[in-house]
Amino acid sequence: MDRPVGRDRSRLRHGAEEDTMAMKKLRSGLLPVAPAVFIALFFAYPVGTLLARGLGQDADRLGAVLTESRFLKIIWFTGWQAAASTLLALVLALPLTWAIANRRFRGRRLARGLVTIPFVLPTVVVASAFIALMDGFGLDEGTLRLRHTVWAILLAHAFFNVAVFVRSVGGFWAQLDRRPEEAARTLGASPWRTFIEVAFPRLRPALVAATSVVFLFSFTSFAIILILGGPRRSSIETEIFRYAVTRTDIATAAALSIVQMVAVVALVACNGWLQRRTLSGRQGLVADRGIAPKRGRQHVSLWAILLGTSVTLGLPLAVLVERSLSTGAGYSLLHYRGLGDKVRFLPVSALEAVANSLAFAVAAAGIALIIGGLGSVAIVHGGKFASRLLDLGMLLPLGTSAVTLGFGVLITLDRGVLDLRGSWWIVPITQSLIAIPFVVRGVVPVLRSIDPAMRQAAATLGASPRRIRREIDLRIGGRALATGVGFAFAISLGEFGATSFVGRRPDQLTVPLAIERLLGQPGDLLRGQAMALSVILMVVTAVVVMIGDRLYPNAGGML
């Protein structure tokens, strides 16, 4: 029994080393398997098959798509409406972006939060809100007709994307040191000149990033164009859907998907190039450049901006709620009460669609939790090659449009053991693919920020690898994971593009699908039901996202 302490210590250290080695084995071995198999089976295989078909057996259709004028018109329309939507969103966002960055006022945080609501709403709800708006203000017909015009599409896209500019550009701007601009003023530059010569160049990286994101969203927009554009306006996305589902011309749909994928890859590459090019050195950053308004004029302009933006963003949603309560003869809960009834154009009642949606959302969130969680741990702890590959694989669905994904799943998972067409699970699996990148993007940076010395310390204190993961990784990454899963739930609830391909069975009718079908039918009663369903979906989504935002602001890396 001489020097027992020393002996104990050496045993402990020895044990810890063994543990670390065991952990290494586990890391490179089992951990990445489940997420890798899932991604390979449900993402890489369908999308790869789609690519192979479009470039292989259906290559002649690709030639037709790239030469025939009706397809070229569609490609051209997809591009210019995206550019116009982006410009409109920027114009609408600019005043509030400026105010949030440059003024300190009560409720600034609240304003930042509220402006995010349109962005997190399901696109079907946005489309409903604009239909309600046109309905409520009589813009369906007459000289100010919005219905089935490109303006309805542009306005809805702008409404949806204002938050991207306000939050990312405004957030960056709020941290830019004021003094270079003050220096410009003392050197004789007018306020306008100062903005052009000093503030704008420093803002450019953030502006480029936000513009690319909004352009990409508008380019791959599906529900808004399908619902608001009417039968004659179509973008690449809506054409893929029409060819694949309505006309069952898989070859043409596959060719259009190729065009879409190439365009998205080109856009992402172009954005990366622009980002690198405009990276203009280190900027002096401050905690908050905002100053309280002092003169009367400054108060007036601030309140005008806040009021104007509130009306622009609040009006469609307010009218949506109003329409859902309006019966033509006063207001009542008629449309809400009617949700339980079976109507002619839906295979099940709207209430059953709500139940379906909730069940799918729970399942999709569960899959996102398991696959996204395991995948994040594997990306952080795995071997270099496996981790890189998995990182890429789990983010790729983010750059793939929902329609492409749904279409790929539709044409591949119909054979042998993988015949999932009849399965209930096909819907939550497809939806979870769209949600997993958000989980990974939220959790991985948090796990990476954990000092490895902390894990080593825990190991020397006798914690097994399993215990380390539970006590350190899960404790620290848990909030980000929970938030990511919350977002997965919300994404699944509102998912429309991919679900419209795979959810073809009556018991697979989700709320967004039901809303789209009800909106497509004439009659005030059906429209009223669509509005009521939209309000329910809006409230549930907003609540889920707000809880997530409280729990862990800016999780999911969305904004």
Partner 1 sequence: MSGLQIESLSVRYGETVAVDAVTLQVATGSVLALVGPSGCGKSTLLRAVAGLVEPTNGTIAWQGEPITHVLTHERDIGLMFQDHALFTHRSVAQNIGFGLKMAGVDKTQRRNRVDELLALIGLEGFGARPIEGLSGGEAQRVALARALAPEPKLLLLDEPLASLDRARRIELNAELARLLRELGQTAIYVTHDQDEAFAVGDEIGVMDRGQLLRIGTPAEVWRDPQAEIVARFVGHDTIIERKGQRFAVRSDAVTIAADNGDYQGTVISSAFQGDRYELLIDVAGTDWRSFHDEAVPVGAMVHLRVDSERLAPLS
- Binding interface with partner 1 (CB under 8 A): 177, 179-180, 182-191, 193-194, 197-198, 201-202, 280-284, 294-295
Give the phi and the psi of residue 60 in degrees, each rounded to 5: -65, -30
Residue 292: CB minimum distance to partner 1, A = 9
Residue 208: CB minimum distance to partner 1, A = 14
- The neighbour count for residue 154, using CB atoms within 10 Å, is 21
Task: List all residues 6 or more positions away from 343 whose beta carbon is below 8 Å from its beta carbon.
Answer: 349, 350, 518, 526, 529
Q: Which is nearer to partner 1, 187 or 362 (CB)?
A: 187
Position 491, amino acid: I
Burial state string for 494-510 with b = 16 or more CB within 10 A and e = fewer than 16: bbbbbbbbbbbeeebbb
Residue 201: CB minimum distance to partner 1, A = 5
Give the phi and the psi of residue 291 in degrees, each rounded to 5: -125, 150
Q: Which is nearer to partner 1, 283 or 464 (CB)?
A: 283
Q: Which is nearer to partner 1, 145 or 204 (CB)?
A: 204
Q: Which is nearer to partner 1, 180 or 347 (CB)?
A: 180
Q: Which is nearer to partner 1, 45 or 105 (CB)?
A: 105
Residue 283: CB minimum distance to partner 1, A = 6
Q: Assess contact for 20 and 377: CB atoms under 8 A.
A: no
Q: Which is nearer to partner 1, 276 or 295 (CB)?
A: 295
Q: What is the DSSP string of 297-317?
A: HHHHHHHHHHHHHHHHHHHHH
Residue with tokens 């503030």: 199
Task: List all residues 6 or more positions away from 213 whose beta carbon is below 8 Å from its beta carbon.
Answer: 164, 168
Residue 285: CB minimum distance to partner 1, A = 11
Task: List all residues 6 or more positions away from 286 whose beta carbon is below 8 Å from its beta carbon.
Answer: 175, 176, 177, 178
Longest dimension (CA), the chain: 99
Q: Which is nearer to partner 1, 140 or 288 (CB)?
A: 288
Residue 198: CB minimum distance to partner 1, A = 6
Residue 202: CB minimum distance to partner 1, A = 6
